[in-house]
Chains A and B, each alone.
Chain A
Amino acid sequence: MAVTVKPQTAPLDVARIRADFPVLSRTVRGKPVVYLDNAATSQKPRQVIDAMRRVFEEHNANIHRGVYEFSERTTAAFEEARAKVARLLNAPSEREVIFVRNATEGVNLVAYSWGRENIKPGDRIVTTVLEHHSDFVPWQQLAKDVGAQVVVVDIDDEGRLRRDQLSAELRKGAKLLAITHTSNGLGTVNPVKEIAAEAHAVGATVVVDAAQAVPHTPVDVQALGADFLVFSGHKMLAPPGSGAVWGRTALLEEMRPFLYGGDMISRVTVSMTEWNELPWKFEAGTSSYVDAIGLGAAVDYLTDVSLERIHEHELSLVGYLLPRLGEIPGVTIYGPKTLESRVGVVSFNIEGIHPHDVATIFDREAVCVRAGHHCNQPLMTRLGVPATTRASFYLYNTIEECDALVRVVHAAKKVFGV
C-alpha cells in the first residue's frame, strides 16, 4: 500500500483549531475523547455556538414577518447565511439556495417536486451502489409509484465506481442520474463533473448528494455541472436542522412547492394560491432560522481555515493510518487503498469480531467510531458484509488520534483472542 502525501498548502494549526471546539476537551470515563465519527456528524466550534446564542440572546424574532427591529435583524442574518452558502458553492444566485433540515429532506424535495412531475412510466433512473439511503430510497419509491426503473451501477473491488458500466447505462437512456459526490461508507470521490457531462449528453437531469463533500472539500456547482445538489449542515460544523438544496433557477421556477403553508405563498384566496418567489416558494412554515444562521457561521469558519487545507489535512491522516491499520493481521480495509479521489473515511473489519463489539471496546478508550451499515445497505450487500467499522476524520483530528485507533484495534483483538 504505497501512500504518500505532498501537501500543497501550509499544514493546519490543529491545536489552535481544537481549542475552538469545547466538546473536544471533554473526557469519557477519565479518558480524552477521540472523535472519529465525523461522517455521521461533526462537532461544533465556539464561533457557531456563539452565533446561534447571539440570536436567542440579542434579537430573536420570526423571520420575513415582523416589521420591527428584532425581526429585521434576524431576517437579515438568515438571508446573509443563504448568501454565504451561495458563495461557498459558487452558485450563480442566492435564489437557488433553499434551506432544508438536511440532505435527506433536500433529496425528498427534489424527488417529490421535480421527480413527480418529470419521471414518467418506463423512465430510467440511474444511480449507484455507493448511495446513502437518503439518495436511494426516495428514487426507489418514486420509481415504484410512477412505474419507472432504477438502475444501480456497481463499484470495483477498491470501491470505485464502474465508469464503463455507468457510461453504458447512460447510453441506454436516462431521465435522471442520482449520484453521490463522495461515499459516506468508503470515502470514494466520484468524478461528478465528467459524469454529469455524460448524463447531460443523454438528456438526464443530475442530482448530486454532496453531504460528504461540501464539509471536506471545495464544491463548485457551476464547475460540476449538476442540476441539483444537496448537503447537510450538521456534518460541516453547523447544527442539525440546517442544510440546503441548490438547484438551477430554470428547474426551480418550473417546479411546484414541496410543502405548502405559511411563508411560501404570495397570495391566498379561498379558491387559489400563488407561490412566493424563489427560494421562499420552497420554505414553508417558520424555517429553522437559528440553525441556518449557525450554518452561515460554519461556512465562515471553514472558509477561513480553507477547505483545500482541510482536505489535505484529512488525506495526510488517511495516508498515515492506512498502512498502519492495513498491516494488522485480520484487518480488512474496504474502499480506496490510495489517496487518489478519496476523503478521510476509513471503513474496516477485524476478522472474528463484529463491528458492534469493536465499537463497544473502542468506547472503553473513548474512541468514537461508527459501527453498522452506515445507511448503505446495498453497499454492504455488495461488499458481502453485514456491517463495517468506520473511522472518519475532520479538520480537528490528529496523528495521535490515528495512533489511538491503531492501539484500540490491538486491544479489541486481545479481548477476543484473535
Chain B
Amino acid sequence: MDDMYRDYILDHYKNPRNFGELEGATHTYHDSNPLCGDEMTMQLKIDDGHVRDVHFVGKGCAISQASASILTEEVKGKTLDEVKAIDRDHVLANLGIPISPARVKCALLGLKALKGAAWGLTAWPGEEVKAK
C-alpha cells in the first residue's frame, strides 16, 4: 500500500536480521549520521577471504535499519572482493523503494559501515573520489 514503507521494509526494521554483537568478529566499523542521529556498527568475521558471518548493531530510522539488515543477508558467504564491489546503486536498487535525495544517506549508512569494516572506507559510497 505504501510505496516507501513496504511490508518487507517494516519487517526488516522491526525484526532486523543478523542483529547484535558478533562473537569473534575480525573486522568492526562504527559510523553515524549526525543529521538524524542514526548509529551503525557493522561486524564481519572474515576467514580465507570470505565473509563467514556478519552482524550489525544500530538504531535509527526504518530506512537505515532495513537497508543494513537486507545488506547483511546479502553479504554472508561472499568473498571480500565481492563485498568491496557492492556500490551505492546496487544497495538502492536492492531496497526496491523510491528514496528521496534527503533520505539517501539513511539508505547508505549500512553500506558505509560495511565498507568501512571491509577496507577502512571513510567517505560516503559514491563520493570516494570527491573525498580524496
Contact = CB atoms under 8 A, between A and B. Distances in A.
Nearest to B4: A360
Interface bin, chain A: 10 to 19
Contacts of B100: 360
A360 B38 contact: no
A30 interface: no
A386 B4 contact: no
Interface stretch (B58-66, B74-82, B115-123): B58-66
Given A380-B37, A387-B36, A356 B10 contact: no
B103 interface: yes
A348 B38 CA distance: 18
Interface string A173-184: 000000000000
Interface residues of B, number: 18
A360 B106 CA distance: 12
A386 B36 contact: yes
A24 interface: no
A389 B85 CA distance: 37
Interface in A399-418: 415-417
Give the interface centre of A354, A373, A377, A417 by most chain B CB atoms within 10 Å: A354
Contacts of B128: none
Contact of B61 (A357, A373, A380): A357
B48 interface: no
B127 interface: no
Contact of A354 (B4, B34, B61): B61
A357 B37 contact: no
Contacts of B4: 360
A357 B62 contact: yes
A372 B35 contact: yes
A357 B38 contact: no
A386 B59 CA distance: 10
B60 A386 contact: yes
B5 interface: yes
Contacts of B63: 356-357
Contacts of B10: 415-417
Contacts of B34: 373, 377
Interface string B28-68: 00000011111100000000000000000001111100000
Contact of B37 (A353, A360, A373, A415): A373
A46 B10 CA distance: 43
Given A373-B37, A386-B60, A417-B10, A356 B5 contact: no
Contact of A415 (B2, B35, B36): B2
Contact of B5 (A372, A377, A387, A415): A415
Interface of A: 353-357, 360-361, 371-373, 377, 380, 385-387, 415-417
Interface of B: 2, 4-5, 10, 34-39, 59-63, 100, 103, 106
Given A356-B63, A357-B5, 12 more contacts: A354-B38, A356-B36, A357-B63, A360-B4, A372-B37, A373-B34, A373-B36, A386-B60, A387-B36, A415-B2, A415-B10, A416-B5
